[in-house]
Amino acid sequence: DPFFLYTLRISEEEFQAVKIDQSILVDFAEFPPRFLELLRSCLPNDDAETPSFAVSLVAGAISTSLQIVETNQFKNLTHLRLDMRAGNDAAVKRYLAGELAKTKFERDGLKNTLDQHTTESRTAHDTAEGTVAAARRHEAAAVQELNALKLEHAAACASLREQAVQLQQKMQAQNDADRSELARSHRDKETQLNLQIDELRQRFEAMASDKSQFQGESKELQMRVNTL
């Protein structure tokens, strides 16, 4: 209910009376943050199923009070009781106007944050798209360079294979020529040796014939000598 409003305004003098009446230990300046800590103690937490403190608004015949009570198995102990004042039409309007202004301020802050995040997101998106485009260009250039290197490598391999075939053919032709030259030289030497052998055979046969002739003449001379 947006029109459900209870307020409390307490001066330092009034606080002193409440402090004495309820045995409050904190001073006036420390009261607001301590009061908020006490209210937070009434909220559920993960450590306990139910909070040990409870806050309630108790309506009486004359006034309405806000009470913070510590509950246990022995008794309920009231730590703080503050008399509240029901908001009139002007107070409710002021409160709702303040809440509306606060909501508008929070909305504007959220809108500004959203706009900033949207701008940052758009900038990041544009940057990412630029990075992706640059990466794609680099990739295309790398692929083109790789294909050029592959073609160059294939051409170099083909040239090397052709040079290897030509060198092999040249070496084969040189080997064939060397073998032919060696065979011809061997044949020439063999022919020369055969000619030398034939010449030596002829000379041997001539020497053998001369030896036989000499032996015959020697025998004939020996016989002549013997007849004398």
* Tens digit of pLDDT at every position of the chain (228 positions): 666 777 788 888 988 998 898 888 889 999 899 989 888 888 877 665 666 788 888 877 677 888 888 887 788 888 888 887 777 788 778 888 888 899 999 999 999 999 999 899 999 999 999 999 999 999 999 999 999 999 999 999 999 999 999 999 999 999 988 888 888 888 889 888 888 888 888 888 888 888 888 888 788 787 877 776
Q: Which pLDDT score, from 0 to 100, does residue 104 have?
A: 92
Its pTM surpasses 0.75: no
Distances (CA, A) of 172 to 60, 166, 168: 125, 10, 6
Question: How many Cα atoms are found within 13 Å in the side-chain-facing hemisphere of 10?
Answer: 19
Q: Which residue has 């450590």 as its token pair? A: 47
- Residues 175, 170: Cα–Cα separation, whole Å: 8
Tokens of 31: 């009261």
- Residues 66, 42: Cα–Cα separation, whole Å: 13
- DSSP 8-state secondary structure symbol assigned to residue 25: -
